Amino acid sequence: MSFAFIENIIAIIGVMIILSVSLNIINGITGMLSLGHYAFFGIGGYFGAYLTVLAHKWGFVNEFSGIPVFLLIIILSGMAASLAGLVISGPTLRLRGDYLAIATLGFNEILKIVIENIDFLGGPKGYSIYSELGNQPPQFRSNLILIYIFVILSIYITRQIMKSVFGRNLLGIREDEIAAESMGIRSSKYKIMAFLVGSFLAGIAGILFVMYDKFYANPKDFGFLEGIPVLLMIVLGGLGSTTGAVMGAFTLTVLLQILKLIPGISNQPVLVYAFLLIVIMILRPSGIMNRKELSDLEIYKKTRLKIIDLINKRHGDAES
Partner 1 sequence: MELLQQLVNGLALGSTYALIALGYTMVYGIIQLINFAHGEFFMVGAYAGTLVILAELPLWLAFPAAMTAGAMISLGVEQVAYKPLRRKNAGRLAALITAIGISIFLQNVMFLYPGADLIGLGTKNPLGMEKFIVGEIEISSSKAYIFLISIFLVFALVYIVHYTKIGKAMRAVSNSKEISMLMGINPDRVISFTFAIGGALAGAAGLLFALDQNQVSNFMGLMPGLKAFIAAVVGGIGSIPGALIGGLILGLLETLAVVLGFSPFKDAFAFILLIIILLIKPAGILLKSRREKV
Q: Give the residues lining the site for partner 1 (CB under 8 A).
A: 31, 33, 35, 91-92, 94-99, 101-103, 105-107, 109-110, 113-114, 116-117, 178-179, 225, 228, 231-232, 235, 239, 267-268, 270-271, 274-278, 281-282, 285
CB 236, min distance to partner 1, A: 11
CB 285, min distance to partner 1, A: 4
Q: Are 206 and 49 in contact (CB under 8 A)?
A: no
CB 161, min distance to partner 1, A: 20
Closer to partner 1 by CB, 137 or 285: give it.
285
Closer to partner 1 by CB, 15 or 239: give it.
239
Q: Judge residue 195's burial from the number of C-beta atoms within 10 Å of its C-beta, 0-12 exposed, 13-18 middle, 19 or more buried.
A: buried
Closer to partner 1 by CB, 114 or 258: give it.
114
**CB atoms near residue 153 (< 10 Å):** 14
Closer to partner 1 by CB, 101 or 247: give it.
101
Closer to partner 1 by CB, 136 or 267: give it.
267
Beta carbons within 8 Å of 217's beta carbon, 6+ residues apart: 42, 45, 46, 49, 121, 122, 126, 127, 128, 210
CB 311, min distance to partner 1, A: 43
Pairwise CA distance, residues 186 & 44, whole Å = 29
Task: Convert 86-106 to b/e letters by CB count within 10 Å (16 or more is b).
Answer: eebbeebbeeeeeebbebbbe
Q: Are 170 and 28 in contact (CB under 8 A)?
A: no
CB 114, min distance to partner 1, A: 7
